[in-house]
Structure 1
Amino acid sequence: MTEHVLPGDPPINLVLRRSARARRYSLRVSRLDGRVTLTLPAHAPESKALDFAHEKAGWIRQRLAERPGEVIVAHGTVLPVFGQPLRVVPGTRSGLAPEDGQIAVSRRAKSVSATVCGLLKARARDALAAASDGYAQKLGRSYTRITLRDTRSRWGSCSSDGALMFSWRLILAPPEVLDYVAAHEVAHLAEMNHGARFWATVERLMPDYRTHRHWLRHNGEQLHRYRFPD
């Protein structure tokens, strides 16, 4: 991969990636981090790839402008926790208070964002464990463990030994969406593929899964706009 800068207002950082499978030039603007990647055939001239990027500069800037703005979590930030807006406020002790519409952060906490992140991860683990337990019991299968990560490329996974992994950011989605991802990964305990039998298993666990899958496909990038600096 090589990097270039397309001049203009604003300048565009461009990554060129060669692919043996590519048959034409293709541009991708990541809605997560704004990374602009131009994929080109393995033996295509770099000069022609840059000409193509210059021709598409207006389209690239439009896509970059459409990206959701980042939100640095601090006092006053409103976060969508399990489908409910909660505001980060100072308090005597740290904790989630959905009944008050708040996320309280102790005045003794060293970092507001790190404290909020820890609270969200703990709530996500509880919710994902409960959902996974319920679907695993319904399926008649068991998993070995659950881990949480801050993944960008996937919302969950299931390994061959029955270990489930989830993005803790699912706690920022509506509860039915979190449940769908749990059902999806638990279904892999029976079908380690994405074939017809797998989707039939997902539907058996959650008959209306398509609605929640659609929400995640079209709104999932919004969950990554929240930043939690230490």
Structure 2
Amino acid sequence: MPYNNGQTVTLSGPDGDEIRVRLEVNSKARRLILRLDERRREAVAVAPSRRQIKDAAAFAAERVDWIHSRLRHLPDAVSFEEGSVISYRGAPCRLTAIGDGRVARLVPGDPNTLCAPGDPDTLHLRTTRYLKKQARADITRAVKRHAARLNVTYSEISVKDTRSRWGSCTADGKLSFSWRLIMAPPAVLDYVAAHECAHLLEMNHSPRFWAHVSTCCVDWKTHRNWLRVHGATLQATGS
């Protein structure tokens, strides 16, 4: 059967359950790649070119047991709704639409409460808006600090809802970050900011690059490992 870029195919898992696999073409990929989209709770098979989409589908089918195992171990999704408890700057935070005024604010407590007054049906929108705003502020402060330490300049900072990267850096100095980093401990966000600032000096992951990261963040290995362990939980929150 013919396959198309962006198409979703359904495979049969070892328990007979249906497993969704999205087919994508990425000209930057050097080989067939299989990864998980934690938020959509599906696998993504990446082909370097259109003519290899069929190969990507077969690649995923051969590894359906691996996909099944990884999907089973994904954390449960947590919606931004009344009473939900999420992580905010690494600490538990309860969400509520109940309160006075029209501006979202953080109310100290055990746990803290993010109060975003308004229609409960749109609490997820106000929560997301608040978290993005705080993420941009925290990331901007961290980038400015690390850029000064490394004596580098950047042209732009953007905050997005990325799935596969926590941060990125382009050759013209544009830095991009996932707003979901605001849910991680501050030291983890700080590490990602340092990581991308180091790319302004080295567009690779050579020993010299990691030396620059270490200049800004001595414990970068600890924070990188935290993201590897808990990153799926951040992606499953508010999705």
Give TM-score, length-normalised by structure 2: 0.78
Amino acid at match of 1:99: P
Q: State the partner residue of 1:62.
A: 69
- Taking a change above 3 Å as real, the CA distance of residues 62 and 122 of structure 1, as seen in their structure-2 partners, is same
Single out whichever of 90-99 and 193-202 deviates more from structure 2.
90-99
Aligned-residue offset at 1:218 = 2.0
- Contact 2:74-2:232 at 8 Å conserved across structures: no
Aligned-pair identity (%): 38
Aligned-residue offset at 1:32 = 4.1
Q: State the partner residue of 2:152.
A: 141
- Taking a change above 3 Å as real, the CA distance of residues 105 and 197 of structure 1, as seen in their structure-2 partners, is same
Aligned-residue offset at 1:21 = 6.8
Q: State the partner residue of 2:174.
A: 163
- Write the mapping of 1:159-198 to structure 2, written as runs, cut at 5 A: 159-198=170-209
1:5 aligns with 2:13: no
- Taking a change above 3 Å as real, the CA distance of residues 26 and 163 of structure 1, as seen in their structure-2 partners, is closer
- Taking a change above 3 Å as real, the CA distance of residues 152 and 38 of structure 1, as seen in their structure-2 partners, is closer
Q: State the partner residue of 1:96.
A: 105
- Contact 1:68-1:225 at 8 Å conserved across structures: yes
- Contact 1:84-1:98 at 8 Å conserved across structures: no
Q: State the partner residue of 1:72.
A: 79
Q: CA RMSD in A?
A: 3.3
Q: State the partner residue of 1:87.
A: 94
The Cα offsets for residues 62-108 of structure 1, whole Å up to 9 and x where unpaired, read as 33221112122111011100011110121113323252301001136
Aligned-residue offset at 1:30 = 4.2
Within 1, Cα distance between the matches of 2:42 and 2:193? 29
- Contact 1:72-1:226 at 8 Å conserved across structures: yes
Within 2, Cα distance between the matches of 1:158 and 1:143? 9
The Cα offsets for residues 27-50 of structure 1, whole Å up to 9 and x where unpaired, read as 65544433235689x89x98xx49
Within 1, Cα distance between the matches of 2:93 and 2:158? 25
- Write the mapping of 1:209-228 to structure 2, written as runs, cut at 5 A: 209-227=220-238
Within 1, Cα distance between the matches of 2:30 and 2:190? 36
- Taking a change above 3 Å as real, the CA distance of residues 80 and 15 of structure 1, as seen in their structure-2 partners, is closer
- Contact 1:14-1:35 at 8 Å conserved across structures: yes
Single out whichever of 26-35 and 91-100 deviates more from structure 2.
26-35
